[in-house]
Structure 1
Amino acid sequence: MVDAFEQWWDGVELWLAQLAFPFQFALLMCVLLPLCLGVARLIDRVVDNASTRFNPVPKVPPASDEAKPDQVDAGRSS
């Protein structure tokens, strides 16, 4: 099984190495770019879930207008 996979991979590698550079680049970008974006999203979700699990944010009710302190205008004198 592994030997068959190695032979297949050698064939793919040889085919890719024989392509012209613009085709190699285009194929790489069409395959590698979505793969890297998917892995980055997966890592982002895992880190986000781990950070919320180990450091939960307490739910704080929003402050009402009555709870805000009076604003002082220190620049003007009456």
Structure 2
Amino acid sequence: MGWVDWLVQWWDGVELWLVQLPVAVQFPVVMIVVLPLCLGVARLIDRVADWGANNPASIGSPEPEPESEKVAA
């Protein structure tokens, strides 16, 4: 659990550093870091969803098609 504590302390330090910056500096920093990160996560989620939708193992047994009604002439 040591690396989790390290990560939490590191994140707290980054957060404190960012909060203490002037807003004119915060905005570009957030846009340069957060925007590409969010875009990357969205693309990853999209690829995983596409893979799951196209994966033959995720498809259950096919349901039989209902028989069409025959009309007696």
* TM-score, normalised via structure 2 length: 0.60
TM-align CA RMSD: 1.8
User: How do 1:1-78 and structure 2 match up within 5 A?
Assistant: 1=2, 2=5, 4-53=6-55, 54=58
Structure 1, unpaired ranges of 5+: 56-78
1:48 alignment partner, SS class:
helix
Per-residue deviation, residues 9-53 of structure 1 (Å, max 9, x unmatched): 333222211111021111111111111011011011101011011
Q: Distance in 2 between matches of 1:7 and 1:42?
A: 27
Structure 2, unpaired ranges of 5+: 60-73
Query: 1:5: Cα distance to partner?
Result: 4.3
Higher normalized helix content (fraction of residues): 2
- Percent of residue pairs bearing the same amino acid type: 57
Larger Cα Rg: Structure 1 or Structure 2?
A: 1
* TM-score, normalised via structure 1 length: 0.57
